Structure 1
Amino acid sequence: MKFNIIDRENWVRKEYFEHYLQQQTTFSITNEMNITVLMENLRKKNYKLYPAFIFMVTKIVNSHREFRTSFNQEGNLGYWSEILPSYTIFDKKTYTFSSIWSPNASRFSEFHSQYEKDVEEYNGTGSLFPKTPIPDNHIPISMIPWSSFTAFNLNINNGGDFLLPIITGGKYSQIKDEWFLPVSLQIHHAVCDGYHASVFMNDFQRFADESADWL
């Protein structure tokens, strides 16, 4: 997958990037997303929420360069032309989890099928990373379906150089006739600001509301 080098000296974010990278400033934002329409459409087609969550998140990240900006293995700053989802699956026997990844698909039906194949193949392996090789161009996605939350914070240090977003969902809840899903976004301030966090959340809500168009 192509990695596009950023010309740091002429980059519009140069001052922001250097300041917040030195400070190792990360921040998180959590919103309760209204998934009422999404849940109705998922039930109509007998689809699961978690792969839909992964599909939506990946689509949003691939729509905005800021969420694909990182260092590559050579230490160069740039952005991936495409990001793949790396997500956790739970082992009910050992109460541990594995982190696997799936290729992107333009249609959700195709991604849902691939997701189910990967989960069936790699769940219960007793390994943290059973599917290898792990592509460099991936983002961590997870869900904590046993508990709702109003805030969540997960940090990957890596010397302060991990720039890609970390997305976590929680247990959805019903309020009157509507369903809400807590979604937490963890990002590095060197490459993303509050504006970009808001773009992510607004895009997620739009995808949920317009789910009939892509399910």
Structure 2
Amino acid sequence: MKQATFTPFPADWARSSHFQYYTKGFVKSVNSMTVRIDVTHFLAEVKRRNLKFFPAFAALTGQVVASIPEMCTAVDENGTPGYYSYLNPNFTIFHEDDKTFSDVWSEYDADFDTFYRNLVADAEQYHDKKGIKVKEGQPANFFCISCVPWLDYTAYCPVNYGGAPNLFPLLTFGKYTEADGAFTLPLTLTISHACMDGYHLSLFFHTLQQQLNCF
């Protein structure tokens, strides 16, 4: 498995005081934004290429995550803030028989086709394994992505009651629906305010929409 590089933010990092404020200060808040994403073109291409929607969407999303350093924020063993060169997706597999889910991760790749195959292979290998964590060796550089395929929702906000919010991104999307020939779905990004402000959240959604439109 490839190893992601960790790059410390420079000493004159513009968001240094913001990072300290939202990790060490009184306000350890989380940003959560839900945006309706247009997947009309993407869905047509997925069907044309005979791909599966979830791994294709997760792979494309993972490539966008890797392109935004703030989304890959972490701290090293000395507590120094920096960013990984990419994050590996951690996704969920739903078990229809008992309505539980299992947690699986896949290896990131800058090549979409390779990335997609990694996700499909892991989903197939672990689809019948029960328990929260069913694939060992999850690396430190990861983001979470899951789907609520039964619902077209308007807001979704996972809350961390354990103190300081997690630095890694949480991505959740709902079922896609059609209106006037356009297919859209709700996508929620939840992440510590220490990592991303409103500008960076907006950058993620705009970039992802561009990639979906060009897929």
TM more than 0.5? yes
For 1:10, the equivalent position in structure 2 comes to 12
TM-score by length of 1: 0.91
Give the RMSD, CA atoms, in angstroms.
1.6
Q: Aligned pair count? A: 210
Q: Could you report, residue by residue, the CA deviation over 1:87-128 in whole angstroms, capped at 9, with x for unpaired residues?
A: 111111221111111112233332232222211111121121
TM-score of the pair, normalised by structure 2: 0.91
Q: Please give the secondary structure, in 2, of the residue aligned with 1:160.
A: coil
- In the alignment, is the contact (CA less than 8 A) between 2:169 and 2:190 conserved in 1? yes
Question: Can you give the 5+ residue segments of structure 1 that lack an aligned partner in the other structure?
Answer: none
Please tell me whether residue 153 in structure 1 is matched to residue 157 in structure 2: yes
Q: Could you say if the C-alpha distance between residues 159 and 71 of structure 1 is closer, same or farther in structure 2, counting changes exceeding 3 Å?
A: farther
What secondary structure is seen at the aligned counterpart in 2 of 1:208?
helix
Q: Deviations over 1:125-182 (max 9, x none)?
A: 1121111111100011111111111111013455315112111111111112110011
The answer to whether the 8 A contact 1:71-1:161 is kept is no
> SS of 2:166's equivalent?
coil
Q: State how far apart, in whole Å, the 2-side matches of 1:129 and 1:72 are.
A: 24
Q: Distance in 1 between matches of 2:79 and 2:159?
A: 20
Partner in structure 1 of residue 131 of structure 2: 127
CA displacement, residues 50-72 of structure 1 (integer Å, 9 cap, x when unaligned): 11221122111110110011234
Distance 1:157 1:78, change over 3 A: farther
Distance 1:162 1:77 in 2: 13
SS at match of 1:146: coil
User: Equivalents in 1 of 2:124, 2:195: separation in Å?
Assistant: 36
**Local SS of the residue matching 1:4:** strand
The 5 Å alignment of 1:1-215 reads 1-6=4-9, 10-21=12-23, 22=25, 23-72=27-76, 75-211=79-215
Farther-moved stretch of structure 1 (160-169 vs 24-33):
160-169
Task: Give the residue type in structure 1 aligned to 2:156.
Answer: F
Residues 112 and 81 of structure 1, relative CA distance in 2, 3 Å threshold = closer
Unaligned stretches of 5+ residues in structure 2:
none
One-letter amino acid matched to 1:17? F
Question: Larger % of helix: which?
Answer: 1
